[in-house]
């Protein structure tokens, strides 16, 4: 199957200030890809270039194998970062209007709007004007408007921002449901938990550059590995020092350490058994994507400040 989106060494500057620098990646059909990065990382600019809304200064973009444009109309569902609806339209009119712009005829467009609103718990709001809806409801209506024509490829820019936890969970459900139909999804976010739960693959951006591109597991491997330990006997600190790159002693006497790259948590357990040191606590901490993100981006930011820095990329698709 053809890749829905491929970027080849794409760069873009605004008024001489680089927004995106030499970014390349290719999205595989059927993937859920998380496009992560802090504010100002270049996520929105990259997605706009992917859709052809702005042209790259250098590099090329292939959307369904062609330059973004007319050929992709109706095949892409795009939810931009900035949200809005026509205030005087009803929810069903808003969804049907976008569906019709994507080529669906009038009657089926309104039937589709009604079905989607019923399906996602907004049946009562069908004839409610957008100006009278809550922010969460309006955001869901806009998402439904973006996906009503059942496109092959979805680009969702910060879809979770501004939603309360309940609506975030509902939105996660919608994303999973779309993916279950074999559709490809790229969504940008700076909330790691969503990416962790939803994504097959993560592309991490910082300062306009791609700093990581790979599976979630590969990203987690970049995160520091922590172990929490406690013992009533003396000598715990001396025992763990050869395995730790950083040791923190807490108020209750527990140690929280970061493992050296070549060390494993079970090495500590084995050594304590060998030395007869009884552990009252042995707790390897599962790394989070947030930690991986901080580790990767922090490193990149430091490198960015030094001249002639080679770009760091990790993972299977780098």
Nearer to another protein by Cβ, of 11 and 231: the residue is 11
Closest contact distance (angstroms) between CB of 103 and another protein is 8
Closest contact distance (angstroms) between CB of 3 and another protein is 18
Nearer to another protein by Cβ, of 55 and 281: the residue is 55
Closest contact distance (angstroms) between CB of 27 and another protein is 16
Distance CA 3, CA 173 (A): 25
Closest contact distance (angstroms) between CB of 149 and another protein is 8
Closest contact distance (angstroms) between CB of 26 and another protein is 20
Distance CA 207, CA 13 (A): 12
Nearer to another protein by Cβ, of 18 and 80: the residue is 80
- Where on the chain is the footprint of another protein (CB under 8 A)? 48, 51, 53-54, 70, 73-74, 76-80, 82-89, 97-98, 100-102, 142, 145-146, 155
Nearer to another protein by Cβ, of 175 and 296: the residue is 175
Distance CA 42, CA 50 (A): 12
Closest contact distance (angstroms) between CB of 29 and another protein is 19
Nearer to another protein by Cβ, of 155 and 223: the residue is 155
Closest contact distance (angstroms) between CB of 104 and another protein is 11
Distance CA 67, CA 10 (A): 13
Nearer to another protein by Cβ, of 131 and 302: the residue is 131
Nearer to another protein by Cβ, of 146 and 202: the residue is 146
Closest contact distance (angstroms) between CB of 72 and another protein is 8
3-state secondary structure the chain: CCCCEEEEEEEEEECCEEEEEEEEEEECCCCEEEEECCCCCCHHHHHHHHHCCCCCCEEEEEECCECCCHHHCCCEEEECCCCCCCCCCEHHHHHHHHHHHCCCCHHHHHHHHHHHHHHCCCHHHCCCEHHHCCHHHHHHHHHHHHHCCCCCEEEEECCCCCCCHHHHHHHHHHHHHHHHCCCEEEEEECCHHHHHHHCCEEEEEECCEEEEEEEHHHHHHCCCCEEEEECCCCCHHHHHHHHEEEEEECCCCCEEEEECCCCCHHHHHHHHHHHCCCCCEEEEECCCHHHHHHHHHHHHHHHHHCCCCCCCCCCCCC
Nearer to another protein by Cβ, of 157 and 291: the residue is 157
């Amino acid at each position: 199957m053809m890749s829905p989106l491929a970027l080849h060494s794409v760069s873009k500057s605004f008024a001489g200030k680089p927004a995106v620098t030499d970014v390349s990646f290719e999205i595989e059909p059927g993937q859920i890809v998380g496009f992560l990065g802090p504010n100002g990382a270049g996520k929105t600019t990259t997605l706009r270039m992917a859709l052809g809304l702005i042209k790259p200064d250098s590099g090329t973009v292939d959307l369904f194998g062609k330059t973004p444009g007319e050929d992709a109309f109706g095949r892409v569902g795009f939810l931009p970062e900035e949200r809005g609806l026509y205030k005087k339209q009803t929810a069903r009119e808003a969804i049907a209007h976008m569906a019709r712009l994507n080529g669906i005829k009038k009657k089926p467009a309104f039937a589709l709007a009604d079905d989607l609103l019923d399906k996602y718990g907004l049946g009562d709001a069908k004839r409610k004007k957008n100006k009278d809806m809550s922010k969460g409801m309006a955001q869901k209506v806009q998402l439904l408007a973006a996906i009503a024509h059942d496109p092959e490829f979805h680009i969702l820019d910060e879809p979770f921002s501004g939603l309360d936890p309940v609506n975030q969970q509902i939105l996660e459900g919608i994303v999973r449901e779309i993916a279950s139909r074999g559709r490809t999804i790229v969504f940008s976010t700076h909330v790691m938990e969503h990416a962790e739960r939803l994504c097959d693959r993560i592309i991490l951006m910082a300062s306009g550059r791609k700093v990581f591109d790979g599976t979630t597991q590969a990203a987690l491997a970049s995160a520091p590995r922590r172990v929490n330990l406690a013992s009533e006997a003396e000598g715990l600190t001396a025992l763990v020092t050869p395995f730790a790159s950083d040791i923190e002693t807490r108020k209750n006497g527990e140690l929280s350490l970061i493992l050296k790259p070549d060390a494993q948590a079970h090495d500590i357990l084995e050594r304590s058994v060998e030395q007869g040191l009884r552990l009252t606590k042995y707790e390897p901490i599962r790394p989070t994507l947030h930690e991986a993100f901080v580790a990767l981006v922090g490193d990149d930011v430091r490198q960015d400040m030094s001249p002639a820095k080679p770009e760091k990329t990790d993972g299977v698709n780098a």
